[in-house]
Amino acid sequence: MTSSSPAAPRGRERRKRDSRVGDKIFMNAARGSGILLLVIMAAIAGFLTWRSGIALSKNEGNFLTTFEWTPDAPKPVFGIAVLAFGTIVSALIAMAIAVPVAIGIALFISHYAPRKIAQPFAYLVDLLAAVPSVVYGLWGALFLVPHLDGLTSWLNDYLGWTYIFDQSRAGTTPRNLFTVGILLAIMILPIITAVSREVFRQVPRMHEEAALALGATRWEMIRTAVLPFGRPGIISASMLGLGRALGETIAVAIVLSSNNVLSLHLLDPGGGTFAQNIALKFNEAQPFGRDALMASGLVLFVITLLVNGAARLIVARRKEYSGANA
């Protein structure tokens, strides 16, 4: 501790004055950067709202129910129906696949795997969380899509009666919302796994041992001691994953064959997502078209915000279990 105490003592007064000036400068710098952050955020929110307001006031279609996106036409018409549908459906598919599997892997790492496998595998999962989305997109387009051909036609043949898995044209490449969902699932899997694993690791050893001592099998121990304890953590992990799935841009833009049709046939190419639409359209957009894109960006922003907010609320209630810092 001595090495970091102040330099050789000078006059008492002077030291006090120094410290007061230093304190003031430092505190103001700290507070200033906090305020700067606020300003930036307010600027983003204000700017988006302002431009969206302009866009919405001139929209000749209904922003919520219109399918087309032609803001730069002489009669500007644009709506987010297709985008909202695509964004939510692909994110839900991703969640439906990723959450159970991620919990499985997290349990595998924390409770099932031999230690020798668990540790390196945990590292691997963490590293995969950092793979950039453009690489996932590239892999999705060049590897996943060709390999899902068989699966989609099989789904079409045997589950076509469900309407959802009915392909209106046979032999179409699976550049559809379903594939996007699978790709997003793979992308968010490492994130959900990493966070849930942290939570499962923090289950008090006593609870687990108590359950085992009462004669519970390993599964009963997990069901009664681990899962109830980890539930808030799992939920907030899933929300983090959901947030990323909703905002994913490039991977979706690479894989999806987009159009402005809202269809429940998930295996048909088509649909779109907020982020993908912005990525494809911003270049071509004229000033008004850009405002329209900002309006859609604002909607995405609000949705992500709600999801993140929900996650934070849950985490805040059980703060000690959160492993989420990235």
Partner 1 sequence: MKLQRNGRSKALAIGAMALVSSLSLAACGSDNNNDTKASGGSSGGSSAAAINCGKSGTLLASGSTAQGNAMDVWKTNFGAACSGSTINYGGGGSGTGVQQFNQGKVQFAGSDSALKPAEVEDSKKVCTGGQGIDLPMVGGLISLIYNIEGVDNLVLDGPTAAKIFDSQITKWNDPAIVALNPGAKLPDADIQAFHRSDDSGTTENLTKYFAKTSGGAWSYPAAKAWAGKGGQSAKESAGVSAQVKQVKNSISYAELSYAQTNNLKSAAINTGAAKPIEATAVNAANTFAKAKVAGTGSDLALTLDYATKDEGSYPLVLVTYEIVCDKGNKADTLDTVKAFLTYAASDAGQKAIGDTGYVPLPKELTDKVNAIIPTLA
Partner 2 sequence: MSTATTSVPADTRLVNRPLTANRLPKWAPAAVAGGSIALGCAIGAIGGLASHLQWGLISAALFVVISYVLSAQVEGRRQAKDRLATSVVWVAFILAVVPLAALTFYTVQQGASVVDGNFLTHSMKGIRTSGPGGGIYHALIGTLEQVGLATAMAAPIGLLTAVYLVEYGRGTLAKVVTFFVDVMTGVPSIVAGLFILSLWNLVLGFNYSGFSGSLALAILMMPVVVRSTEEMLKLVPNELREASYALGVPKWKTILRIVIPTAIGGITTGVMLSVARITGETAPVMMLVFGADYINTNPFDGPQQSLPMYIWQQYSMVNNDFGYARAWGAALVLIAFVMGLNLIARGIARWRSPKGGH
Q: Residue 300, interface with partner 1 (CB under 8 A)? A: no
112 vs 163, which CB is nearer to partner 2? 112
Indicate which of partner 2, partner 1, none lies near residue 229 (CB less than 5 to 8 Å, by partner kind): partner 2
Which member of 7, 170, 206, 213 binds partner 1 (CB under 8 A)? Answer: 170
Whole-angstrom Cα distance, residue 196 to residue 170? Answer: 40
Closest C-alpha to 102, from 170, 208, 200: 200
Q: Residue 1, interface with partner 1 (CB under 8 A)? A: yes
Whole-angstrom Cα distance, residue 59 to residue 64? Answer: 11
Q: Residue 257, interface with partner 1 (CB under 8 A)? A: yes
Enumerate the H helices of the chain as residue ranges: 12-58, 81-107, 115-128, 133-139, 145-159, 177-201, 205-213, 218-221, 227-247, 250-255, 274-281, 287-317
Closest C-alpha to 258, from 278, 233, 238: 278
256 vs 295, which CB is nearer to partner 1? 256
Q: Mark 110-149 with x for binding to partner 1 (rule: CB under 8 A) and - for no binding.
A: ------------------------------------x---
16 vs 264, which CB is nearer to partner 2? 16
3 vs 325, which CB is nearer to partner 1? 3
Which member of 73, 96, 117, 305 binds partner 1 (CB under 8 A)? Answer: 73
Q: Which residues pair with 70 in a beta bridge?
A: 77
Whole-angstrom Cα distance, residue 182 to residue 177? Answer: 9
Work out how close the CB of 143 gets to partner 1 at its nearest, in angstroms, rounded to a whole number: 13
Exposed / middle / buried, residue 245 (Cβ in 10 Å: 0-12, 13-18, 19+): buried
Work out how close the CB of 265 gets to partner 2 at its nearest, in angstroms, rounded to a whole number: 20
Binding to partner 1 (CB under 8 A) within 204-243 occurs at none
Q: Residue 70, interface with partner 1 (CB under 8 A)? A: yes
Binding to partner 1 (CB under 8 A) within 3-42 occurs at 3-4
| H/E run at residue 77 | strand 77-78
Q: Residue 285, interface with partner 1 (CB under 8 A)? A: yes
Closest C-alpha to 181, from 106, 125, 122, 256: 256
Contact 231, 289 (CB under 8 A): no
Work out how close the CB of 79 gets to partner 1 at its nearest, in angstroms, rounded to a whole number: 15
Residues that bind partner 1 (CB under 8 A): 1-4, 70, 73, 146, 169-173, 175, 253, 257-259, 269-270, 280-281, 283-286
